[in-house]
Amino acid sequence: MIATEVKNRFVTETQAQRIADRWNAVYPAMRSILDTVIKAQRGAERPTVDVAHLERVRREMGQQDRGTFKACTRSPGAFSIFDAFAQVREVVNVTSIGHADAGAILRLCAELADAVAEAAVARRAEWEAERATVPAQPVDGGRRERADSEQTERGTR
C-alpha cells in the first residue's frame, strides 16, 4: 500500500505516510495470523470464532492493501481508515499476546484509532459549522402554542 491510497480529507500526508509504513510492515503478519486461525478453526469440532467473518476480514484487508477496497458499491477503491481500524481490531482479537508481531499490530491499531478519532472530531466540527450558518426554522409553522391555562377541555385548539 502507498500513502496516496489513504483517502480521507481529514488525514494529513504525514499521517497517511505513517499509516502506510505501519500497514506495510505488519500486513504480511496479520494475513498469516488470519490464515492460521481460519485454518485451525475450520478443522475444529466447535469453532470459537466466526470463521466466515474472519474470511471476510481477510478478503477486505487484501483489498485495503491493494487500494481496491470499497466501503460501498458507489465509492472509488481506496484505503479506508475507518474500515482498516475495524479490520485490524479483529486481527488483534485473535492474536496471541506473545506473538512476535503483536506490538507492531497494536501500534498500527493505535495509529488508526488516532486518525479515526481526529477525523470524527473534524467531521463533527465541520457539521456544526455548516449547521450554524443555516437559520433556524420554526417546527410548528410559527403558530403560537397556548399555555396550559388557555387550553379548553377539548384540547389545545
Q: Mind listing the pLDDT tens digit for each residue in 127-155?
A: 888 777 766 666 666 565 655 555 555 55
pTM > 0.85: yes or no: no
**Residue 67: CB partners within 8 Å, gap ≥ 6?**
1, 2, 5, 77, 78, 79
DSSP label at residue 76:
P
* Rounded mean pLDDT, 94-108: 94
What pLDDT sits at residue 147?
Answer: 55
* pLDDT number for residue 72: 73
- Least confident interval from 7-11, 12-16, 102-106: 7-11
- Cell for 145? 402554542
* CB neighbours of residue 133 within 10 Å: 6
Contacts of 64 by beta carbon, 8 Å cutoff, 6+ apart? 1, 23, 79, 80, 83, 84, 87
Residue 82 has pLDDT above 70, yes or no: yes
Separation of alpha carbons 128 and 121, rounded Å: 11
Q: What is the mean pLDDT of residues 62-89?
A: 85
